Amino acid sequence: MTTAPLLEARNLSVVRGGAEVLSIPDFTVAGNEVLSLIGPNGAGKSTLLLALARLLPLSAGEIRCRGESVMANRHLVPYRRRLAMVFQEPLLFDATVYDNVASGLKIRGLGRDELRRRVGEALELLQMTHLAERSARKLSGGEAQRTSLARAFAIRPELIFLDEPFSALDPPTRRTLTDDLERVLKATGTAAILATHDQMDALRLSDRMAVMHRGKILQSGPPVEVFNRPGTELVASLVGMENVLAGTVLDSREGLLTLALGEHRIAVPGRGAPGETVRFCIRPEHITLTSFDPAGGTSARNVLPATITAIAPMGIYQKLQIDCGFPLIVFLTQQSLGELHLAPQRTTFASFKATAVHLLRSGPDCHSTPKDD
C-alpha cells in the first residue's frame, strides 16, 4: 500500500468574475487528521471546501485522493462517495429523520438489511434513535443539524467536510453539538476539515489549523503554535489575542489539575490522567500584574515571575507581551499601567486564578467562565 496522504491539492485556483477567489499552492490532509480553517467571512473557507470536494469548477490545479487524481469527470462520483459534507444549513430532505440518514446509503444502492443496520448505527452514534420516525420538518434547529451529521457519518466517509456546521445555532445547542461532534470524530477516527470562525471550536477539535484570508492560507500548524506564534501581524489579528498553551498533567485531584508547563506548575479546574497533554487558554484581561511577589496576598493560585517584552496601546487597554518561559499576552488599563510603573525589560509577577484558565477539552469544565473580582 502507498503512504500517499488522504488528500493532496496542488496549485488550486478558482477564478470568479475575473478575480481569483481561491489560490492554494499546496494543501495536504492526512488520514485521521482534523484540520480547521479559520478566517473572517469571505476568506474563502467555503470555497476551499467545495473545491476540495470537487463541487466547484476549478480554474487550475490538481487534487489527489490517496495518491490518485480525482480530476477527470468519471472520477467525480466515486471520489465524492468517499466524502461527506455538512453545511451550515441542515439541507434535509422532506422526509423522516430515518429516510434522511438513509439517503446517502440509498444513493449508493445499499441492500435493505445493510441499510437498516447502518442507519441504526448512525442514529445511535448521534444519540437520536428516538427521533427516527419524526418528520424533518418538525425538528428543532439543533436536531436538524444533528440529523445532517448522522446522514454524513452513516456513509462512513474517509473525510468529512464541515462548513460552519453550528454557527446558525444558539450557544447551548452549539456546545452540545460540538461535544458530540468531537466524540464522534474520535470514536470513528474520521478525518475532517472544519471551516469555522469560532476559535474555541478550532482549538478543541483540530490537530491542525489553517488561517485563511482573501482566498489564501496565511499560516497553518498546530493550533497552539498558530495562536502563540502568528507569523505575521495579519495572522495575529485574525486569530485574536488569546493565550493558548499546552501542558502535561502531573496530578488530578478534587476537580483540580496540576499542569507542568516548562518549569512552572499551573493549577486548572478539570480532570485528566497524569501524563496527558492538554491545551488551555487564558484570556489576556484575566491576568493581573504586580511588581512584587504577591504569594499569600492573593486569591490567585497561579503566580509566575515574568519579564515584560513589549507594551503597545490597544483601544482602552494597553497590550503587554510578557515572557514567563513561555509568551503571555496581558491587557491592562492605562491607569493600572501607570500605577505599576511597568516598562519593557522590567521584572513583574503575573497572577491568574485557576478559574481564569479554560481547558480546551470536552466536558463541563472547559466552558467555565472566571468571575470578575
Partner 1 sequence: MDLIAEGIAKALALLTSFDPEVLGITLLSLKVSGTATLLSLLVGITSGTLLALAEFPGKRLLMSLVNTGMGLPPVVVGLFVTIFLWRNGPLGFLGILYTPTAMILAQGIIATPIVTGITLASVQNLPANLKLQILALGATRPQLVWILIKEARLPLLAGVMAGFGGVISEVGASIMVGGNIKGYSRVLTTATVMETSRGNFDVAIALSLILLLLCFVINYLLTRIQQRERPR
Interacting residues with partner 1 (CB under 8 A): 50, 53, 55, 77, 80-81, 83-85, 87, 89, 91, 93-94, 103-104, 107-108, 137, 151, 155, 161
* Residue indicated by cell numbers 496549485: 11
Query: Of 49, 13, 70, 55, which is closest to residue 161 (Cα–Cα)?
Result: 49
Give the span between the Cα atoms of 63 and 50, in whole angstroms. 12
Cell numbers found for residue 21: 477567489
64 versus 81: smaller Cβ distance to partner 1 = 81
> 55 vs 187, which CB is nearer to partner 1?
55
Single out the residue of 200, 135, 136 nearest to residue 166, CA to CA.
Answer: 200
- According to DSSP, residue 283 is labeled -
In angstroms, give the least distance from the CB of 103 to partner 1. 6
Cβ closest to partner 1, residue 50 vs residue 217: 50
Identify the three-state secondary structure at position 193. Answer: strand
Q: Minimum CB separation from partner 1 for residue 159, in Å?
A: 11
Separation of alpha carbons 72 and 351, rounded Å: 59
State CA 280 to chain mean position distance.
13
Q: How far is the CB of 104 from partner 1 (least distance, A)?
A: 4
Cell of 281: 487558554
Q: Which is nearer to partner 1, 161 or 280 (CB)?
A: 161
Closer to partner 1 by CB, 85 or 218: give it: 85
Question: Cβ 53 to partner 1, closest distance in Å?
Answer: 6
Please check whether residue 308 is in contact with residue 346, taking contact to mean a CB–CB distance below 8 angstroms: yes
Between 159 and 238, whose beta carbon lies closer to partner 1?
Answer: 159
How is residue 339 written as a grid cell?
Answer: 500605577
Q: Which is nearer to partner 1, 80 or 319 (CB)?
A: 80
Closest CA to 145 of 161, 130, 126: 126
Q: What are phi and psi of 177, to 5 degrees?
A: -70, -35
Name the minimum Å distance from CB 113 to partner 1: 20
Beta-strand relationship, 208-213 and 34-38: parallel
Q: Residue 194: beta bridge partners?
A: 36, 162
Q: Measured from the CB of residue 123, what is the shortest distance to partner 1 in angstroms?
A: 17
CB of 230 to partner 1, least distance (A): 32
Q: Min. distance of Cβ 80 from partner 1 in angstroms?
A: 5
> In angstroms, rounded to a whole number, what is the distance separating the alpha carbons of residues 315 and 294?
28
CA dist 76 and 93 (Å) reads 23
Nearest CB to partner 1, comparing residues 21 and 83: 83
